[in-house]
Amino acid sequence: MSDRRRDGVEVEVAIVGGGLVGASLAIALEPLGLRVALIEGVAPQADSQPSFDDRTTALGNGTRRIFESLGVWPDMLPQAAPIRRIHVSDAGRFGFARLAAADHDLEAFGYVITNRVIGGALRARLAGVAGLELRMPERVGAVRPAGQGLELALESGASLRAQLVVAADGANSVVRAAAGLGAEIEDYGQVAVVAHLRASQPSDGTAYERFTPNGPIAVLPLADGALGLVWTLSPAEAARVQALDDAACLAQLQQAIGWRVGRLLQIGRRNAYPLRLTRAETLVAARTVLVGNAAQGLHPVAGQGFNLGLRDAVTLAEVLAEAQAAGRLVDCGAAELLEAYAQRRRADRDGVTRFTDGLVKLFGDRRTGIGAVRDLGLLLFDLSPTAKAALSRISWGFAGRTPRLARGLRLGVGGAAGAAAGFGGPEREP
């Protein structure tokens, strides 16, 4: 791997942001043999990398297949806790719904892994990516047109020119702003308190989602028998909970979630994250593409944010691979390629965003009579195998074409040629 500091380096793709999505994109592009630079403000082994912390992420089956295709899943699997059952309830009301993976011929609906484990596996794989221009730690100061490309002025004083710049630098994306792309931001007025728990009953593979007047609480299985907590509260309540000692915090949480996981015994370090819906007005600008949280940041209620962002990354890689296989990859930043990416992501992105935002607002609606309608809907869902089967497929993508890497199909000249010619197999995972 290259880590040279040359001024005016020319690459075909510059990825700004080396978190989970940006790192995955750099790996996905390797078979194409392109000159790629990955720019990240935090050093590779730094504990302060915000994407590689102890928060837990629920990986859908499509994401698991992508990681298998990228060769990183074996390093994650020992620390991956399968979600074999899902239990949804409405606190203080009668509504509930249950799903079992075995009922849909699935080993699991997905897997829960800490971001630190995912990041470690990606970092190890990045070390073997041939020809990657790694710039860590390095930050982008400005982005400006430069001939048939864009020039990235780096804070170190170096510069780098690229045909295509990929914004993988998060919800407050510098690249998105530099491209003049606006974003709609809706503050949910909620904060997620995140921690690990120990309970008297070890995790049995059930993920619990409990909707309360303050917001949803998710309790997720972890590989070591512990539990991952995402506790949504108002900002004032979150501040109060953060100030409690462990015993008082556990007592309040026990009251909120009940006893399905047994008696709560321990809670680890608590971190708090404000929750907003961030959605870029469009995914592309001149020689610029948005992926991951730079494109959209979602509420964690359905655990879809990272899965959606990863599909952004591998779809972009697929569009470039198809153009290469057809002999059309003369310019990675060509407008027609960027538009093809935006079109291919539209249905999945719109569907997941509406689904997630709709859940937040449906269960947050306190108008008279809405709770009864909501609970009736949950009970009807619990009785409908068809509805459950449809929900179980969301982990592959909400709508549109499933990316090739999520179907276990290769990219690169050999792997993408069949897709370009129409021989890519089924569009959706069976």
Q: How many CB atoms lie within 10 A of CB 362?
A: 13
* Whole-angstrom distance, CA of residue 92 vs CA of residue 421: 55
Q: 364: part of which helix (H) or strand (E)?
A: helix 335-364
Q: How far apart are CA 379 and CA 374, in angstroms?
A: 9
pLDDT of residue 76: 97
* DSSP label at residue 328: -
Q: What's the pLDDT at 354?
A: 85
Greatest CA separation found in the chain? 65
Q: 41, 327 in Cβ contact below 8 A? A: no
Torsion of CA 169, 172, 176, 180, to 10 degrees: -170
CA 420 – CA 133 distance, rounded (Å) = 28
Confidence (pLDDT) at 149: 94
Q: What is the pLDDT of residues 92-103, one digit of tens each?
A: 666 677 888 898
How far is it, in rounded angstroms, from Cα 262 to Cα 426?
44
Q: Please list the alpha-helical segments (H only) found in 188-332.
A: 235-243, 246-257, 305-325
Strand partners, 266: 198
The CA distance from 26 to 138, in Å, is 16
Q: How far apart are CA 194 and CA 231, in angstroms?
A: 6
Q: Which residues pair with 303 in a beta bridge?
A: none
Contact 294, 176 (CB under 8 A): yes
Q: Which residues of the chain have pLDDT under 50?
A: 1-5, 415-430
- At 416 the pLDDT is 46
User: Please, which residues have CB within 8 angstroms of residue 181's CB and are 6 or more apart in sequence?
Assistant: 280, 281, 282, 285, 288, 290
Q: What SS3 class is residue 419?
A: helix
Residue 362 to residue 10: CA distance in whole angstroms: 49
Quick check: 257 and 208 in contact, CB under 8 A?
A: yes
pLDDT in tens, 259-301: 989 999 999 999 999 999 999 999 999 999 999 999 999 988 8
| In contact, 279 and 211? CB cutoff 8 Å | no
Q: How many CA atoms lie within 13 A of 187 on its CB side?
A: 6
Alpha helices in 246-334 (DSSP H): 246-257, 305-325
Q: Is 139 left (phi over 0), alpha (psi -120 to 50) or beta?
A: beta
The whole-number pLDDT of residue 373 equals 57
What is the per-residue pLDDT for 375?
Answer: 54
Of 310, 304, 393, 312, the C-alpha closest to 356 is 304
Domains and CATH numbers, the chain: 9-81+115-184+278-420 (3.50.50.60)
The pTM (predicted TM-score) of the whole model is 0.88
- pLDDT for the residue numbered 384: 57
The pairing of strands 264-267 and 183-199 is antiparallel
Q: Is 368 helix (H, G, I), strand (E, B) or coil?
A: coil
Q: How far is 161 from 354, CA to CA, in rounded Å?
A: 37
- Which candidate, 151, 135, 162, places its Cα nearest to that of 1? 135
**pLDDT at residue 393 in the model:** 65
